[in-house]
Amino acid sequence: MVFSSLIFTFLFLPAVILFYGIAPRFLKNYILFAASILFYAYGEPRFVFIMLGSVIINYLTGLGIGYTRNRILKRVLMILSVIIDIGILFIYKYLNFFTGREIIHSGLPIGISFYTFQILSYVIDVYTGRVKAQKNLFTLALYISFFPQLIAGPIVRYTDIEKQIMTDRKVTIDDFGDGALRYTQGFLKKVLIANNVSLIAEKVFTGTDMGSAALWVGAMAYAVQIYFDFSGYSDMAIGLGRMFGFRFRENFNLPYTASSITDFWRRWHISLSSWFRDYVYIPLGGSRVSAPRHILNLFIVWSLTGLWHGANYTFIAWGFSYFVLLTLEKYLIRPEKRGTVFSVFYRIFTLVCVLLLWVVFNSPSLGFAGSYITGMFGIGRAWQFAEALSLVRGKMLYLVCGLLLSTGLPQDIFAKLQRLRISRYLEPFVITASAAVLMIWAVSFLAVGTHNPFIYFNF
């Protein structure tokens, strides 16, 4: 089940809100846990037991780590838990890739990369003393399985929501309204923009002998698709959490406005980049080591980041490319020390690099990626502008809106309008009316069975 579906929006979610609202205080977490298991089982019932098994194992090891005074035993339990968690992830996601044979036939458990990282952060934080071991199994299970962030993040730290789970959460009308509006915002980003521009991207990436102009259009369409697909899902998750009294951290911050590659990764998939920073990069020594060791640390982090996204050489190359760019940026380019003219140029350079690497990310093979990228620069391809225009016919509005919203310009204009006195009276009406109209428009796409893919559903 995905958030951008009719069954979730008009059946599952209203039912959960109803039962949660009428349930007595002591039952609310159990209602959310039951709903989360039902949510996950709807799409992958056979994989529920793998997730629950992971919860039980880490619950027991967490208790052991938290309550033993023997440092060696603490360390052994932590390492054992990490090995089991990574082992399960490796078996289902990477075993076939590394052995070159199809040993696992059951497919990839939905969201396993996300909930595995949440489990790991909990166990490691218990070991380091950042949090106390959770005594209530169902409370820990709710943290891992909570449906808003279960299958596609953001990756939520236990340290961030421990008090929200344990204490009596109060959801005001304003909280619920803000959460519903944020969910609607994400729904619109996903259904209206991501779904529609995905049709352009898929035509180009599955087509043959496309001209250079069409390849650039396809790359831009995919960049818009993956951003609005994933950030839209994160918006929905954050909004849903707010509706039930949880506050999740932001996961995106206008990444395509980044001033550098480093800045891009401060803005894109923030929960993942911060997870690797805190649990891999800093424990390795971070940047407070010699230059060769720092470069090695970057290599390890970005090799793991590439692999996290999938078992394919394209993801490995994608991660390695970011390692190279970040190393050059840190030791050679140093954009923060340059002038204004260079900064403008480097922003463009950053955006082009991100765009080209999305081609690698979305390619079935490295050969395909190489042919696509060389073709973008006219090597072996004609430009054929008419072909590019025909690709966006009927979808131009969604692509242009996606590009404009990616710049943050509409948000800036809206912020300025909010400072006008007249907007204080019109704002609630305008926002509510606009959201309602756009929501009806988006639902109409789903009602006729329109294209509704989700990229990060496979991670």
Reference 218, options 375, 5, 49, 89; nearest CA is 375
**157 or 459, which is more confident:** 157
State the Cα–Cα distance between residues 116 and 103, nearest whole angstrom. Answer: 21
Q: Give me the pLDDT at residue 78, please.
A: 96
Residues 11 and 157 in one domain: yes
**pTM of the predicted protein model:** 0.92
The stretch 397-423 carries a mean pLDDT of 79
Residues 165 and 180 in one domain: no
Residue pLDDT, tens place only, 94-119: 999 999 888 887 778 888 999 999 99
- Assigned domain for 264 exists: yes
Q: With 80 as the cut, is the pLDDT of residue 123 above it?
A: yes
Q: Kindly report the three-state secondary structure assignment for every residue of 272-324.
A: HHHHHHHHHHCCCCCCCCCHHHHHHHHHHHHHHHHHHHCCCHHHHHHHHHHHH
Last residue of a domain, one of 169, 189, 213: 169
Last residue of a domain, one of 384, 405, 426: 405
Residues 155 and 211 in one domain: no
**Count of domains in the chain?**
2
- Assigned domain for 136 exists: yes
CA 284 to centroid of chain Cα atoms: 25
Residues 114 and 196 in one domain: no
Q: With 90 as the cut, is the pLDDT of residue 218 above it?
A: yes
- Assigned domain for 158 exists: yes
Reference 48, options 144, 167, 124, 139; nearest CA is 144
Q: Are 210 and 381 in contact (CB under 8 A)?
A: yes
Q: Are 371 and 360 in contact (CB under 8 A)?
A: no
Residues 309 and 250 in one domain: yes
State the Cα–Cα distance between residues 362 and 253, nearest whole angstrom. Answer: 22
Name, in order, each residue with C-beta under 8 angstroms of 444's C-beta and a sequence gap of 6 or more: none
Residue pLDDT, tens place only, 228-286: 999 999 999 999 999 999 999 999 999 999 999 999 999 999 999 999 999 999 999 99
- Assigned domain for 365 exists: yes
Residues 151 and 271 in one domain: no
**CB-facing half-sphere around the CA of 4: CA atoms within 13 A:** 34
State the Cα–Cα distance between residues 314 and 371, nearest whole angstrom. Answer: 13
- Assigned domain for 449 exists: no
Reference 152, options 121, 189, 117; nearest CA is 117
Reference 204, options 217, 195, 190; nearest CA is 217
The token pair at 53 is: 């098994």
Residues 376 and 258 in one domain: yes
State the Cα–Cα distance between residues 366 and 407, nearest whole angstrom. Answer: 30
Residues 188 and 210 in one domain: yes
Catalytic residue numbers read: 309
Q: Give me the pLDDT at residue 371, please.
A: 95
- Assigned domain for 413 exists: no
The stretch 163-168 carries a mean pLDDT of 82
State the Cα–Cα distance between residues 359 and 375, nearest whole angstrom. Answer: 12
Reference 109, options 199, 43, 60, 154; nearest CA is 43
Whether the ω angle into residue 154 lies within 30 degrees of 0, i.e. cis, is yes
- Assigned domain for 388 exists: yes
Which residue range is the domain that position 114 belongs to? 6-169
Residues 163 and 180 in one domain: no
State the Cα–Cα distance between residues 204 and 384, nearest whole angstrom. Answer: 13
Residues 196 and 317 in one domain: yes
- Assigned domain for 117 exists: yes
Residues 158 and 191 in one domain: no
Neighbouring CB atoms inside 10 A of 299's CB total: 16
State the Cα–Cα distance between residues 133 and 130, nearest whole angstrom. Answer: 10
Residues 368 and 304 in one domain: yes
Region at 220 (left for phi over 0; alpha for psi -120 to 50; beta for the rest): alpha
State the Cα–Cα distance between residues 131 and 233, nearest whole angstrom. Answer: 28
Last residue of a domain, one of 127, 151, 169: 169
Reference 78, options 34, 136, 122; nearest CA is 122
